[in-house]
Amino acid sequence: MIDFKYTQPNTLKDAVKVLSKNSVPSSGGTDLLGLLKNDILAPSQVVNLKNIKGLDKIEQVGNSIKIGALTHLTEISENELINRNFTALAQAASHVGSPQLRNMGTIGGNLTQRPRCWYFRGDFHCLKKGGDMCYAEIGQNKYHAVINGGPCYIVHPSDTAVVLLALNAVIITYSKIGEKRIPISDFFTLPDKDVTVENILAADEIITHIEIPLLPSGTSSAYIKFTERGAWDFAMVSVAAVIHHKNNKINSGRLAFGGVAPIPWNDKELDKKLNGLSLKADSITKFSKNVLTNADPLDHNGYKVPLARGLTIEVLSKFS
């Protein structure tokens, strides 16, 4: 770990003034500390955002719930507004890491955490670190992308991002040019756009809030993840569902998947097939065969396709 300057601004304006290409923001610091220790990041300055007031609240504003980016994951999992309106988000937040990590980690940090790929985290000069190859493509790729991978085959590790994608959340940011609202579907970026980053944040741009529109009456949500080691682990595959249903039939819905692509994944054509779907077991099983039909697995991760289909059956069965 190299030496760096440590700054604690008290306002957003002060924070974006000191943020630059060689600086990194810190909220909970749970991911950043590992990146610094392993020399994956070597910033000249770390900008701690904890002193900025107003970024750790959950409140209803009109027809939306607004979550401050510095809100801890434990608070999100236990918050009454979240549990009443967005069950899936409470479920996802409660499944992130260990209780200690949830007590420290923030939702803003969870959305912007770096990939867990063992080549990126290890002593490999891979594409994402400025090298000339993705070692996962020809190496050990059990946990890597089966869809839209290449030239880098990472998967995004965030549980909450998958749910927020299904919920059509909006990411609110602040930079030197002011506030910006970004649909979460536009926030994450594929490796073929820029292999060195996972989202579109500028160097001086900070997530301040996540805004989620309230769901229409008759709509509910659920989240499920499969992990290799049980508790406190990253998802091998995860599924979030937001379903409007009545009389055991889906009127409309939206599915999002984690662990299958370099970004939280949504297939709009798959969502269309939810319209009018019966919630009977045989109909759900038949529907699941449409999941990840365009997957292109690597040598060791083909299991993710049937796993995603099985989890889809399980999550949709929760609404019957």
The candidate with the shortest Cα–Cα distance to 161, out of 83, 88, 229, is 88
Please state which of the ranges 23-32, 57-66, 80-89, 265-274 shows the lowest mean pLDDT.
23-32
Query: What ranges in 3-147 are assigned the alpha helix state H?
Result: 12-18, 30-37, 73-78, 80-85, 87-94, 99-104, 107-112, 118-121, 135-138
Domain ranges of the chain: 58-113+168-213, 219-317
Identical topology for domains 58-113+168-213 and 219-317: no
Average model confidence (pLDDT) across the chain: 95
- So what CATH class is 219-317? alpha beta
Q: Tell whether the model's pLDDT for residue 89 goes beyond 80.
A: yes
Q: Tell whether the model's pLDDT for residue 253 goes beyond 70.
A: yes
How would you classify residue 262: left for phi > 0, otherwise alpha for psi between -120 and 50, otherwise beta? alpha
Task: Read off the pLDDT of each residue in 103-120 and give the average, rounded to a whole number.
Answer: 94
What percentage of the chain has pLDDT greater than the value 90?
88
Task: Read off the pLDDT of each residue in 265-277 and give the average, rounded to a whole number.
Answer: 98
Q: What is the pLDDT of residue 33?
A: 85
pLDDT band at 230 (very low <50, low <70, confident <90, very high): low
Higher pLDDT, 34 or 125: 125
CA distance 207 to 107: 10
Helix or strand or coil: residue 303? coil
Task: Read off the pLDDT of each residue in 280-305 and give the average, rounded to a whole number.
Answer: 98
Query: First-to-last CA distance in the chain?
Result: 52
Q: What is the pLDDT of residue 231?
A: 63
pLDDT, one tens digit per residue, over 19-66 is: 987 899 998 788 888 899 888 998 999 999 999 999 999 999 999 999
Q: What is the pLDDT of residue 144?
A: 98
Higher pLDDT, 28 or 238: 238
DSSP 84: H
Q: What is the pLDDT of residue 101?
A: 80
The candidate with the shortest Cα–Cα distance to 314, out of 205, 244, 233, 226, is 226
Residues whose CB falls within 8 Å of the CB of residue 242, separated by 6 or more in sequence, listed in order: 88, 166, 167, 215, 219, 220, 221, 253, 254
CA distance 116 to 207: 21
CA distance 25 to 18: 10
pLDDT, one tens digit per residue, over 189-228 is: 999 999 999 999 999 999 999 999 999 999 999 999 999 8
CA distance 36 to 63: 40
Higher pLDDT, 195 or 232: 195
Q: Does domain 58-113+168-213 have CATH number 1.10.10.10?
A: no
Q: Tell whether the model's pLDDT for residue 1 goes beyond 70.
A: no
CA distance 216 to 153: 36
pLDDT band at 232 (very low <50, low <70, confident <90, very high): low
Q: What is the pLDDT of residue 31?
A: 85
pLDDT, one tens digit per residue, over 138-155 is: 999 999 999 999 999 999
